[in-house]
Amino acid sequence: MARDFASNSASLGSHSHEELSRRINELKKEMNALVLAHYYTVPEIQQVADIVGDSLALARAAEKNDADVIVFAGVYFMAETAKILNPSKLVLMPDAFAGCPLADSCPAEEFKRFKEQFPEAIVITYINSTAEIKALSDITCTSSNAEQIIRQIPAGQKIIFGPDRNLGGYIARKLGREMILWPGFCYVHDAFSEPFILKACAEHPDAELIAHPECREEVLRHAAFTGSTQALLQYTVSSSAKKFIVATEPGILYEMQRRSPEKTFIPAPRDPDNPRSVCTQMKQNTLEKLYQCMLDRKPAIVIDETLRLASLGSIRRMLEMS
């Protein structure tokens, strides 16, 4: 489906972050708005948000709240999921064009043909997917609950997993289950490679490597801990280690450092010339755009009702199973 937005383009000028945050907080009250932000957004967005979380925490927050307006500082599939769960609410996005290349790498027509090759398989898809893909799926999952959900699928039941081959491969190896994988990947996590990770580990022998399951197997095999963004954060709080090499999007380092100011966090290198592997789409969310979208009440997510109902089942199943 083409993205259907009433978009804004006005520029706000140069207000300070403090002033913008103050105005955003006023608008939140006036509009009865809830601001949700992913851990990969910039710190000033995380500071003004009502809830900061990973994909699962934000989907849950979008499901259960009394707000009239949800403002989603993340990427498109996240705001779309919030709209699917809340058809009567206004769901806003600071930047209408902050998409997820992983989600966009799995076109519905191709996925349908892929699925038709395995008619007996159950289809489990990562939440990083379009509504059309969710409508073709039996169960949605996030990196937080993928393992828990797949453990509930009877042994012997064929599973198609998409669109992230690295997350799917990680769960398949961990559970010793064969899964049919769609060959998609997240360009941010897939960019980490073994030689540079090993070099960083050699340079910081006192640090623990922790990694998101969207990373490749050659990286995950060296990690002391693998988990979703939320799980990595919790691990850094509870671990006795004092130093971590973090193989995920570096936006999470803000909250890691905030929770454990005495510990050291090193973003895992992508290569020597490009030390940070950043999600440019998440960084499209700025405080200015957040304020402007609340002022304008747009861009708002619009979804066709037939598609919404078709995709709702797989999201509801995820929320029930985890």
Helix, strand or coil, per DSSP, at residue 180: strand
Q: Which of 129, 137, 140, 143 binds ligand 13P (CB under 6 A)?
A: 143
Cβ-contact 231, 216 below 8 angstroms: no
Cβ of residue 267: shortest distance to ligand 13P, in angstroms?
A: 15
Q: Which two tokens stand for residue 249?
A: 């999007």
**Smallest distance, ligand SF4 to C-beta of residue 210, A:** 16
Q: What angle do CA 220, 226, 230 make, to 5 degrees?
A: 140
Q: At closest approach, how far in Å is the CB of 100 from ligand 13P?
A: 6
Return the residue matching tokens 């994909």. Answer: 55
We find the least distance from the C-beta atom of residue 58 to ligand SF4, in angstroms, to be: 12
What is the C-alpha to C-alpha distance for residues 141 and 36, in angstroms, rounded to an integer? 19
H-helix or E-strand spanning residue 140: strand 139-141
Q: Where along the sequence are the contacts to ligand SF4 (CB under 6 A)?
A: 40, 75, 100-102, 128, 186-188, 249, 279, 281-282
Q: Which of 21, 41, 128, 286 binds ligand 13P (CB under 6 A)?
A: 128
DSSP symbol at 269: P
Q: Is 228 in the site for ligand 13P (CB under 6 A)?
A: yes
Nearest partner of 139 among 107, 170, 151, 183, judged by Cα: 151
CA distance 266 to 230: 17
Question: How far, rounded to the nearest angstrom, does the alpha carbon of residue 43 sit from its chain's CA centroid?
Answer: 16
CB of 82 to ligand 13P, least distance (A): 14
CB-nearer residue toward ligand 13P: 23 or 60:
60
- Binding partner of residue 236 among ligand SF4, ligand 13P, none, CB under 5 to 8 Å per kind? none
Locus of tokens 């999952």: 141
CA distance 224 to 211: 8
**Residue 144: contacted member of ligand SF4, ligand 13P, none (CB under 5 to 8 Å, by partner type):** ligand 13P
The partner in contact with residue 101, picked from ligand 13P, ligand SF4, none with C-beta cut-offs of 5 to 8 angstroms by kind, is: ligand SF4
Closer residue to ligand SF4 in complex, CB, 40/67 = 40
Q: Which of 144, 236, 277, 286 binds ligand 13P (CB under 6 A)?
A: 144
Measured from the CB atom, the residue of 40 and 265 that comes closer to ligand SF4 is 40
55 lies in the site for ligand 13P, by CB under 6 A: yes
Q: Which of residues 239-298 bind ligand 13P (CB under 6 A)?
A: none
Radius of gyration of the chain (CA): 20
Query: Rounded to the nearest 5 degrees, what angle is found at the Cα of 240, between the Cα atoms of 194 and 173?
Result: 40
Q: Which does 142 bind (CB under 5 to 8 A by kind): ligand 13P, ligand SF4, none?
A: ligand 13P
By a kind-dependent CB cut-off of 5 to 8 A, residue 85 interacts, out of ligand 13P, ligand SF4, none, with: none
Nearest to 92 by CA among 297, 303, 304, 289: 297
Residue 54 interacting entry, from ligand 13P, ligand SF4, none, C-beta within 5 to 8 Å by type? ligand 13P
Residue 211 touches ligand 13P, criterion: CB under 6 A? no
Least separation, in Å, of the C-beta of 214 and ligand 13P? 6
Helix 305-321 vs helix 55-63: angle between axes, to the nearest 10 degrees?
A: 110
Place of tokens 């006005």: 10
